[in-house]
Amino acid sequence: MRVIAERAARGELPIDVRAVISDRADARGLETAASMGIPVASLSPKDFPDRPSFDSALARLIDQYQPGLLILAGFMRILGGAFTSHFNGRTLNIHPSLLPKYRGLHTHRRALEAGDAHHGVSVHFVTEELDGGPVVIQARVPVLPDDTEATLIERVQHQEHSIYPEVVGWFASGRLVCRDGEAWLDGSPLKNPVIREASIT
């Protein structure tokens, strides 16, 4: 969130960050956004009887800002079908694995336990299927023999800060759209995601 907001503020992304919203009032991102003059809001799921009620209230809150794009960054709640349909084709998420591998949690640990030679991060459109929407771009990083979760996380996060703003820029400039359940870039459907290969430096 911070990287995207900073690049927008510097004019490096053609977007206006209208609000940062969290399901936790103590989220560090809210403090960061507020310090940058970005409107912030929080909505706790504990204040609602069930997930559909929370999703509905969250959608109404977001609609107040009339966004062209929702950017999920560290938002760890599963969003239901009514919510994802309401914002269909204009919600992006970043997931720390080379999807479709390792949907859900603990992706770095799972990659290490599996002995994978490569790990990485994916940016995808959000659908009702958990981490199952059309993938736009992936950054692949090598897994080193002495890697721990901490070192692998650091290497992957470095790539996150590169590819997520890039995809946001594509969407904002009209190069990227989600059409009929597929990601389209520059007028053509992406049969496979764009791949960025990260080297060790």
108 is annotated as an active-site residue: no
Candidate list 86, 95, 119, 124, residue with the active-site label: 95
Decide if 83 contacts 57 (C-beta within 8 A).
Answer: no
The β-bridge relationship of strands 182-185 and 176-179 is antiparallel
Helix (H) or strand (E) holding 19: none
Mapping DSSP to helix (H, G, I), strand (E, B) and coil, where does residue 109 land?
Answer: helix
170 sits in which H/E element: helix 149-172
CA nearest neighbour of 67 among 138, 160, 137, 168: 168
Q: How many residues does the chain have?
A: 201
Rounded-to-integer distance, Cα 105 and Cα 16, Å: 31
Q: Would you please indicate which residues are annotated as catalytic (active-site) residues? A: 95
